[in-house]
Amino acid sequence: MTNGLTLRQQLDRYAGPDSLRRAVADVVAAFAEAAIAIADLTGRGALAGITGQVQGRNPDGDMQKDLDVRADQIIRASMKGLPVAALASEEAIDVDILDPSAPISVAVDPLDGSSNINTNMTVGTILSIVPTPADIRATFMQPGTAQLAACFVVYGPQTALILTLGDGVDVFTLDRDTGSFRLTAATVKIPADTAEFAINMSNRRHWEIPVQAYIDDCMAGVDGERGRDFNMRWIGSMVAEAFRILTRGGIFLYPADAREGYGEGRLRLVYEAQPMAFIMEQADGAASTGRTRLMEIAPKALHQRVPLVMGSRDKVRRLERMYTNPNVKPENAPLFSHRGLFRI
């Protein structure tokens, strides 16, 4: 259980006299303050001038909404004066060099779930903290295993901050009376045995066969291979799906698919998948591309995409087995054989 510590108190305990840890603690604290400002904006919505209107496109070609832009500005401002060497954001083409001599660097997705902004659904902010290597240009080319901390905030009915400093995962909830985050769940563990999956089903026909086979088994329920019924959830904000998985287990998939531009899925490696993978693993879950442990991938480009499967460890392992199972072939996949798509 928890002892109601504030995030700041928890960070001070973690940092002690260590200067690298102090830098991490200060950055997480500043990020949390920025998140409170973003939570306020999302909560006020149209009253704060947030319309969900498109303002342009980000480096990846996604529509950029007004809250994306505001959130990016708030996060950038919060990092001023901190020991941060480089800042990477989903909303900027290039890395921003702040203090090249600083020991740590940060990558952020200022607003995850942008398409949900004007529908009053949960969105969030994601942070990854990495050490600054000798060659600063290699900062965001490090595998996920190099991360020092990962954090995300969900702006839902509650504003919650989920944090790993490399030794388990803690959940803090925003106390609106004091304006501070308080520890509400310590050392959370992802339940292993739950029957929920999350995937954008409308893309089914574009997925690879192993993903189709995995989901088809879930859909077959008690009548299929798995011998039990499953339940589907899809919010369209990865942060919300991740929070649900941390709370009650399950699996989330954004796989590669055959649509143009989706050959490596949709989610970005550096500031979406890597921090989520770190948090999942620290909560006894797993994160994978289906073929590879996600944490071991070294990015080749800042805005690189990656297929992401995360959640309860057993479920992620089962999906991985689909990729190596010689029986999972087009002719054996249930819907394909029923419909005869691959028959001549």
Q: Residues interacting with ligand AHM, by CB under 6 A?
A: 62, 90, 109, 112-115, 200, 236-238, 254, 266
Of the candidates 244, 290, 76, the one whose C-alpha atom is nearest the C-alpha of residue 152 is 244
Quick one: which segment of 103-111, 201-209, 273-281, 315-323 binds Mg ion (CB under 5 A)? Answer: 103-111
Contact 12, 165 (CB under 8 A): no
Which of residues 124 and 290 has its CB atom nearest to Mg ion in the complex?
A: 124
Alpha carbons 83 and 73: distance in angstroms, whole number: 18
Query: What is the spatial order of strands in the sheet that 96-97 belongs to?
Result: 96-97, 84-89, 104-112, 123-131, 149-155, 159-164, 169-175, 180-185
Asked if residue 112 binds Mg ion (CB under 5 A), the reply is yes
Q: Which of Mg ion, ligand AHM, none lies near 200, with the C-beta cut-off 5 to 8 A by kind?
A: ligand AHM
Q: Which is nearer to ligand AHM, 70 or 266 (CB)?
A: 266
Shortest distance, CB of residue 114 to ligand AHM, whole angstroms?
Answer: 4
Which does residue 208 bind out of ligand AHM, Mg ion, none, counting CB within 5 to 8 angstroms by kind?
A: none
Among 109, 196, 216, 281, binds Mg ion (CB under 5 A): 109
How many other C-beta atoms lie within 10 A of the C-beta of residue 82?
18
Cβ 266 to ligand AHM shortest distance, Å: 5
Q: Which residue is nearest to ligand AHM (CB)?
A: 238
Closest distance to Mg ion from the beta carbon of 198 (Å): 15
How far apart are alpha carbons 15 and 176 in whole angstroms?
26
What are residue 183's DSSP bridge partners? Answer: 172
Q: In a 3-state reduction of DSSP, which class is residue 21?
A: helix
Q: Closest distance between Mg ion and the C-beta of residue 231, in Å? A: 24
Q: Which entry of ligand AHM, Mg ion, none binds 115, CB below 5 to 8 A by partner kind?
A: ligand AHM
How far apart are CB 111 and Mg ion at their closest, in Å? 7
Question: Which of ligand AHM, Mg ion, none sits in contact with 266, Cβ below 5 to 8 A by type?
Answer: ligand AHM
Whole-angstrom distance, CA of residue 319 vs CA of residue 325: 10
Contact 238, 119 (CB under 8 A): no
Kindly state the smallest distance separating residue 65's Cβ from ligand AHM, in Å: 9
Closest residue to Mg ion, Cβ-based? 112
Residues in contact with 278: Cβ distance below 8 Å, sequence separation at least 6, in sequence order: 128, 144, 147, 150, 164, 295
Residues that bind Mg ion in the complex, under the rule CB under 5 A? 109, 112
